[in-house]
Chain A
């Protein structure tokens, strides 16, 4: 790729069809390279956000995925309205925009032939927020793992609990973790893959209690928001604060895996479980 880095995107050669700017390093990169690497920047290794279906596509064997509980969608338990309108409208918009019914897609499939249950969050759906429906789908996925004795892999991408559902969204943290607890008791593998971003109520529940916690490079992984912390402690925080690398250094992540190697490594890890 040496020719690539030496080549300059001049006004003449720049075309929106072919080129794009990396969201992180802002260098011009080929759209085709970005897509081929599944949204990883060839210049700075930035890992862009994947949709749930893109993630399923690069993780599970072709045509192996069978979706579970696809009909679960948000209700509006509090009849919630804020300054911008109703929660009902917000969810219908998200459903229309993403083609999803909730912030997570769950199902079964195989990874290089090994059967697994997966739950994949999608940040496009109201910031991947944890709602009653999302919590229910994750619990049912872990129950399916439990009943069928299959490993569970959860890919997290979430801003945290969905406050439009009030206390019920908070309770999904306890609910999903109760499901994980059952897997632990039956020695069923649970791998947690933390992707950008995994924060708030999702980081403080199922995402950080995998038997093995895996992160993609450079993901934001946090409990409290950076701004809130800076306001509380009145000091600047280090640049790498709350990144995958920071969490690895502090002992909360087992390993950071590049997107291009994720499938192979997941398979490898599961094979150690005698699966």
Chain B
């Protein structure tokens, strides 16, 4: 990766003829902002680039760096083991938890096997199987969200992508153990929400969460995919916006430079946030917990009456 310093040097050179290199300068400025990460000055589009950064921690980094004793549990017991969603038992600061998340993979091969973290119905059904298992034994559930969206393909439709996600939304509303969801990278639409219904919903400061990708929205409403940066601003997918809209409860500040530049700092910040939310939730009686979760999601939305 090119360092911020090198990029700045390049920018200084281009700035000598600003008219000639207008587009290059704009792109470079945005690249510099991204490589710095975590700073207030990022546009929505730049934040999306940070959330998608190739070096950003993925699920396996979190389970090894932040949790201990992870035991991966495979398969939906219906059709397959979808690697785009990974889950299993783990310890977090002395607490036994079920950790479940989208896994984008790191190597080219892993990314292929995981369809870059875009899950099939099998993945959502695996997640639900693990959640029900955790529930039976009173184990809290931690989900880590990082996906462009559910996988759009023939087999997904054939096996009920829509129903798999919908079923999770219904069942996550009923599960009687604490659920804490954190968007750690991309929160892409229904594919993200499919493991995103919890007592607490949090976001890392450079993550994004949106009903549709900026590119998809630009394609539909602007009829021009290249208008994605404009669509990104309009969709307001940043953590700060979601906190204002009361969709998330908490934004976890990433280390300066962004999660991709400081894994240990990111894990520490997330661990601290999860544990501080988890402890009070564990004291709430199961029936009250699901009632409060229902009330939390009931309150979402802004309309006139």
Q: Identify the A interface with B (CB < 8 A).
A: 69, 71-75, 77-78, 80-84, 102, 131-133, 135-136, 139, 161, 163, 165-175, 177-182, 184-185, 200-201, 203-209, 221-225, 228-229, 232-233, 235, 237, 241-242, 250-252
Contacts and interface: CB of A to CB of B under 8 A. Distances in A.
A221 B234 CA distance: 29
A209 B170 CA distance: 8
Contact of B189 (A83, A133, A170, A177): A170
Contacts, number: 204
B210 A209 contact: no
Contact of B170 (A167, A177, A200): A177
22 contacts: A75-B302, A75-B304, A77-B245, A82-B222, A82-B231, A83-B227, A161-B211, A167-B247, A170-B211, A171-B300, A172-B301, A173-B190, A178-B169, A184-B170, A201-B211, A204-B161, A205-B190, A208-B163, A222-B162, A223-B161, A229-B154, A252-B163
Contact of A136 (B161, B211, B303): B303
Given A174-B172, A174-B300, A182-B294, 9 more contacts: A83-B223, A136-B301, A161-B189, A167-B210, A174-B196, A175-B298, A175-B300, A204-B165, A224-B150
Contacts of A251: 160
Interface stretch (B33-41, B235-243, B261-269, B271-279): B235-243
Interface residues of B, number: 58
B162 A208 contact: yes
A222 B151 CA distance: 13
A81 B227 CA distance: 13
Given A83-B227, A166-B235, A225 B297 contact: no
A182 to B, nearest CB: 7
Interface of chain B, helix or strand or loop or mixed? helix
A73 B302 contact: no
Interface string B92-123: 00000000000000000000000000000000
